[in-house]
């Protein structure tokens, strides 16, 4: 099942998410639906709050970047209850976008490596260091489960420039090639 993507302006995107319990019976379905949703919208990552689920989990598919760099080997997997242990390496800027904030792209600086502990889909504990575009996508998705969006990392000046666009998105006045759900205060 493809979930609609929650748009900028939805309070679910601003909440800190809750731990995923290993006895969550819906988890297998949520994971498979989220992969389907990410693929349908051609995303390189998707965090649970983006589909209205307030849980600490996200998935990535950085294999999309293999075509830009033949030496790069991407990852496609889910991360449950991830914790960033440390971010190291030099900061580098990359123009990021987000399925919840369509048509907005801005340079964001992030550290080159991220050390992450997490659980896989079988709740097996893992700790790994990621780099390149995989680290970048993990850092972006990790922000989501903390209620942070990539536009929070840009300068106040740049945010001012996109303010009108953000308001349009929040109101649903945008054309998108995938299914979205816009927040209504009613
Ligand atoms: Co995003």
Q: What is the pLDDT of residue 148?
A: 98
Over residues 109-116, the mean pLDDT reads: 98
Over residues 162-183, the mean pLDDT reads: 96
102: pLDDT confidence band, cut at 50, 70 and 90? very high
Using a cut of 0.85, tell me whether the model's pTM lies above it. Answer: yes
In this predicted structure, the answer to whether residue 105 has a pLDDT above a threshold of 90 is yes
Residue-averaged pLDDT of the chain: 97
CA 129 / ligand 1 centre spacing (Å): 21
Q: Which of 66, 86, 141, 146 is catalytic?
A: 141
Q: Give the integer Cα–Cα distance in Å for 151 and 36.
A: 26
Does the annotation count 106 as an active-site position? no
Q: What is the pLDDT of residue 42?
A: 95
Over residues 18-32, the mean pLDDT reads: 97
Q: Tell me: the pLDDT tens digits for 28-43?
A: 999 999 999 999 999 9
Give the CA dihedral 132, 150, 179, 48, nearest 10 degrees. 80
CA 157 / ligand 1 centre spacing (Å): 21
CA 49 / ligand 1 centre spacing (Å): 10
- Report in angstroms the alpha-carbon separations of 109 from 10, 46, 85: 25, 20, 19
CA 96 / ligand 1 centre spacing (Å): 9
């Amino acid at each position: 099942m493809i979930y609609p993507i929650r748009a900028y302006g939805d309070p679910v995107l601003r909440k800190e998410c809750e731990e995923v319990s290993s006895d969550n019976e819906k988890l297998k379905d949520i994971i498979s639906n989220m992969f389907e949703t990410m693929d349908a919208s051609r995303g390189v990552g998707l965090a649970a709050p983006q589909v209205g689920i307030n849980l600490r989990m996200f998935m990535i598919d950085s294999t999309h970047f293999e075509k830009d760099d033949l030496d790069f080997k991407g990852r496609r997997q889910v991360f449950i209850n991830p914790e960033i242990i440390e971010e190291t390496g030099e900061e580098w800027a990359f123009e990021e976008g987000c399925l919840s904030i369509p048509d907005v792209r801005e340079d964001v600086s992030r550290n080159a490596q991220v050390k992450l502990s997490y659980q896989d889909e079988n709740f097996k504990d893992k700790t790994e260091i990621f780099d390149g575009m995989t680290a970048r996508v993990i850092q972006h998705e990790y922000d989501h489960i903390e209620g942070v969006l990539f536009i929070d990392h840009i300068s106040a000046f740049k945010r001012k420039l996109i303010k009108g666009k953000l308001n349009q998105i929040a109101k649903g006045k945008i054309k998108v090639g995938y299914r979205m759900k816009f927040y209504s205060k009613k």
